[in-house]
Chains A and B, each alone.
Chain A
């Protein structure tokens, strides 16, 4: 392995795993939506998404998207040549903002914070 165990490695692994999970989700997502011309089937599938377990999965999906999106911004900044000494700060800034969004999402979607 040419990767070392530091924040860069962790971010790289997280990007890879969240990316794989997301493309898998896209297949499931488009499969579910492909029933759109059959209102009854569509509503019954959508109804499944209202139970607490699905709401938890929805918060998990938010985590995958936010982690991958913020990591992507971090990678782009590094690619366009932001000096190495800022890399850790970029990582923790992204992790901080992303963490707040995910925690808010969990509160909103799972704990019923919106109601």
Chain B
């Protein structure tokens, strides 16, 4: 059951990322002035819009879940030693915490 939920969320976040990553890539890499990266002021302006804050927050949570769960899937395929697995699990959770906290910090700019 737990595995089914993890699998299901990997698919749901994958679908969110399909839309989110392509939108994000298009906006940030293709449509800036002269098609270069947006300036600091422009980034801040976009980050002051509640829609983009919400979009980026959902995007952030999905990226972190999907990416780290994917890495975990690879780890459990190769690592058998219990203590190493426990250590790597702690690393994964710590990474998730750092990425989410960093993301929220950026979104509050």
B1-39 to A contact mask, C-beta < 8 Å, 1/0? 000000000010011011001100100011000111111
Interface of chain B residues 51 through 77 with chain A (CB within 8 A): 63-64, 67-68, 70-71, 74
Measured in the bound complex, the distance between the Cα atoms of B40 and A58 in whole Å is: 19
- Say yes or no: A26 contacts B71, CB within 8 Å: no
Smallest CB–CB gap between A99 and chain B, Å?
16
Measured in the bound complex, the distance between the Cα atoms of B15 and A43 in whole Å is: 32
Residues of B within 8 A of A88 (CB): none
Interface of chain B residues 71 through 105 with chain A (CB within 8 A): 71, 74, 95, 99, 102-103, 105
Residues of B within 8 A of A69 (CB): 17-18, 21-22
- Say yes or no: A23 contacts B68, CB within 8 Å: yes
Residues of B within 8 A of A95 (CB): none
Measured in the bound complex, the distance between the Cα atoms of B19 and A57 in whole Å is: 22
Measured in the bound complex, the distance between the Cα atoms of B22 and A63 in whole Å is: 12
Interface: A86 (CB within 8 A): no
- Say yes or no: A73 contacts B106, CB within 8 Å: no
Interface: A22 (CB within 8 A): yes
- Say yes or no: B11 contacts A76, CB within 8 Å: yes
Q: Which residues of B contact A (CB under 8 A)?
A: 11, 14-15, 17-18, 21-22, 25, 29-30, 34-40, 43-44, 47, 63-64, 67-68, 70-71, 74, 95, 99, 102-103, 105-106, 109
Please name 5 pairs of A and B residues whose Cβ atoms are closer than 8 Å in the assembled complex, sorted by A: A26-B99, A30-B99, A46-B39, A49-B36, A76-B15
Known: A19-B67, A36-B43, A76-B11. 7 other contacts (CB 8 A): A37-B109, A50-B36, A62-B25, A69-B21, A76-B14, A79-B11, A115-B35
